A and B are shown apart, each in its own frame.
Chain A
C-alpha cells in the first residue's frame, strides 16, 4: 500500500518537474521523464511530418525527367533530395522517443499513420512545381518556423535545419513562376491555372479550424505547438497576398480583401468536406502515393539485404584476420 502511494507521489513530482521545465521555456530531452500523452502526441506529429516529407518527393519527382532545362532539373533534383533529408532528420527525432523507423515506414505504407493531405493532389504542369515551392513550401515555413521553439529538443533542432533549407525551396518556386509570368500568354495562363488549383489545398495545410481541432489546446499547453491553426492560416494569407500581386496572379477567392479594422485579410470559407475526403483517403492521388511508397520500399529490399550481407562478410573477415 505504501509502495503505491510512494510511486504515485514520485510520478506527480516528475510531472511537476516536467511542467515547470516546459513553463519556463526549457527543453525536454530524450531521456527525461515525460507524460505518456506528450510522448504519444509527439510521435504522431513528428512521424506524420516525416511521412509528409517522404511522400512529398513524389509530386515533384514526377517532373524531374521533364524539367525544361538542365538548370531546372538540377534544382528540382536538389529539392527532392532535401525532402528525403527532411524526412530522415524527422525519423531520427522520432526514434529518440522510443520508436523504430522501420516500424514507422510500415505504418505509413499500411495507411496506419497519415501524411499531409496536400501531397494527394496531382502535379499537372511544370507551373505546379513553381506553385508548390511558392505556396506549399511557403505554408510549410509558416507552420514550421514556430516549431523551431518546440519544447521537445530533438524536434526543435530538426526543424531548425529544415527551415534553413526550406527557404531555398520557396525562393526557387517564386523565381520559376516569375520566369513563366515573363513568358508567353500560354505560360501566364499555366501559372494562373496552377495557382487556382493549389490555393485552397494550401490553406487546408494548416489543419481544421480552431473550433474543430481538439488537440490544439493540449499541444499548446505542452508548447509543442505555439499558435493555433487559424492564426497560422491568417499569417500565411497576409504574407501571400502582396507576393501574388508582385507576381501578377489572382488568388481564386472573390471574398479575399483587406480588413482595415482587423489589420488582416478576410478570406472565403474553406471546403472542409473536400479536406475530410482527402484526409480519409479519397483524394485524387492517395492510392497512387501509397502504392509508389510501398513499391519503393519493397523493390529496395535487395539493396538493404546486399548491404547487410556485405557488412556481415566484412565483419567475419575482420575476425578471421
Chain B
C-alpha cells in the first residue's frame, strides 16, 4: 500500500525490479575541459547506472562552480593502462634517444633564431 509496495507489484510492460536492484553501479572516470582551447583533464570518478546518469552526476559533482565547458565520462573497465612503474621497460625505447631533444645539437651562440 505504500509507494514502495506499488512499484514492486508487477505491471505489464514495466521492468521487473526484483532482478536488477542492489547491482553495484559501474565506476566511471570523469574528464573535464576547463575552457575552450584546453585538453580534458581527469578530475575523479563516480558510480552511475548508465552513461547518461554518469554525465549528469559528473556535472553535479565536478562542475558546481563553472569548472568546465565539456565533460567526458568513461567506464573504468574500458580503460587500458600501462604499468604504474616509471622504470617500466615499456618506456625504455624513449630513454636512449637524446637526439630527439633540441638541446642535443650544438649550435654556435652567435647564430640567430635557432
Interface of A toward B, CB cutoff 8 Å: 29-32, 78, 81-82, 85, 88-89, 92-93, 95, 100-102, 157-158, 161, 165, 301-302, 304-315
Indicate whether A309 sits within 8 Å of B46 (C-beta atoms), given known contacts A81-B64, A85-B61, A88-B61.
no
Q: Is the CB of A313 within 8 A of B64?
A: no
Contact of B21 among A29, A85, A100, A308 (CB under 8 A): A308
Q: Digit string of B1-42 for contact with A (CB within 8 Å is 1, else 0)?
A: 001100100000001110111111101000000000000000
Q: Digit string of B45-75 for contact with A (CB within 8 Å is 1, else 0)?
A: 1111110010000000100110000000000
If over half of A's interface residues share one DSSP class (helix, strand or loop), that class is named, otherwise mixed; here it is helix
Indicate whether A314 sits within 8 Å of B21 (C-beta atoms), given known contacts A29-B84, A31-B84, A89-B44.
no
B59 nearest CB across to chain A (Å): 12
A101 to B4, CA, bound (A): 25
- Determine the residue in chain A with the shortest Cβ distance to B19: A312
Q: Is the CB of B50 within 8 A of A32?
A: no
Residues of B within 8 A of A315 (CB): 50
Q: Is the CB of B20 within 8 A of A312?
A: yes
Residues of A within 8 A of B25 (CB): 304, 308
Q: Is the CB of B84 within 8 A of A309?
A: no
Q: Is the CB of B84 within 8 A of A307?
A: no
A78 to B15, CA, bound (A): 36
Residues of B within 8 A of A307 (CB): 48-50, 53
Q: Is the CB of A95 within 8 A of B27?
A: yes
A88 nearest CB across to chain B (Å): 6
Residues of B within 8 A of A95 (CB): 27, 45
Q: Is the CB of A85 within 8 A of B17?
A: no
A29 to B86, CA, bound (A): 11
- Among B4, B21, B49, B84, the one with the most A-chain Cβ atoms within 10 Å of its Cβ is B49
A309 to B46, CA, bound (A): 19
Q: Is the CB of B45 within 8 A of A301?
A: no
Indicate whether A311 sits within 8 Å of B50 (C-beta atoms), given known contacts A92-B44, A92-B45.
yes
Contact of B44 among A31, A158, A165 (CB under 8 A): A158
Q: Is the CB of B53 within 8 A of A102?
A: no
Contact of A311 among B4, B49, B85 (CB under 8 A): B49
- Among A81, A100, A304, the one with the most B-chain Cβ atoms within 10 Å of its Cβ is A304
Can you give 28 contacting A-B residue pairs, CB < 8 Å?
A: A29-B84, A78-B64, A81-B64, A82-B64, A85-B64, A89-B44, A89-B61, A93-B44, A100-B24, A101-B47, A102-B24, A157-B44, A158-B44, A165-B65, A304-B49, A305-B21, A306-B7, A307-B53, A308-B21, A308-B25, A309-B15, A309-B16, A309-B17, A311-B50, A311-B53, A312-B19, A314-B50, A315-B50
A115 to B46, CA, bound (A): 21
Q: Is the CB of B44 within 8 A of A305?
A: no
Contact of B84 among A32, A82, A92 (CB under 8 A): A32
Residues of B within 8 A of A305 (CB): 17, 20-22
Q: Is the CB of A310 within 8 A of B46?
A: no
